[in-house]
A = this chain, B = another copy of it.
Amino acid sequence: MNVSTVEIEKAASILKLLGDKTRLTMVMLLNNHDCCVCEFVEIFKMSQPAISQHLRKLKDAGVVRETRRGQWIIYSLNQDSDFYSLVQSVLGHLPSQDYLLEELKEQGLRISCE
């Protein structure tokens, strides 16, 4: 793992972003699978604007990026971010959250966005 150094103030702002259970889980999921907003809405049982606002913060910080695919906007982890290696280090300590996507699949809700 490449351990690049990050200014302490910027690091704090990234850690603050990751210091929210919803956002941390989002990033954890995005580390393995691209996802669209509607999937997160299902997973977190949260309003669509709430999800959009979390994603916007992550995007503003450069942690994730978005790509439009038809009417969907697909979010993915930004591997070019200055903070990518910091984020990876953190994620390495967390248990996989992929069961959340499995549950979606069982409900037939995962496919809708792919």
A12 lies within 8 A of B21 (CB):
yes
Is the CB–CB distance between B94 and A5 below 8 Å? yes
Q: Is the CB of A85 within 8 A of B93?
A: yes
Shortest distance from the beta carbon of A83 to any chain B beta carbon, whole Å: 8
CA distance in complex: A7, B96 (Å): 10
Complex: chain B residue closest to A93, CB-CB: B86
A20-B16 contact in complex given A11-B94, A90-B89, A92-B3, C-beta closer than 8 Å: yes
Is A28 on the interface with B (CB-CB < 8 A)?
yes
Flag if A15 contacts B8 (CB, 8 Å): no
Contact with B along A65-93 (1 / 0, CB 8 A): 00000000000000000000110011011
* A binding-site residues for B, Cβ under 8 Å: 3-9, 11-21, 24-25, 28, 85-86, 89-90, 92-95, 97
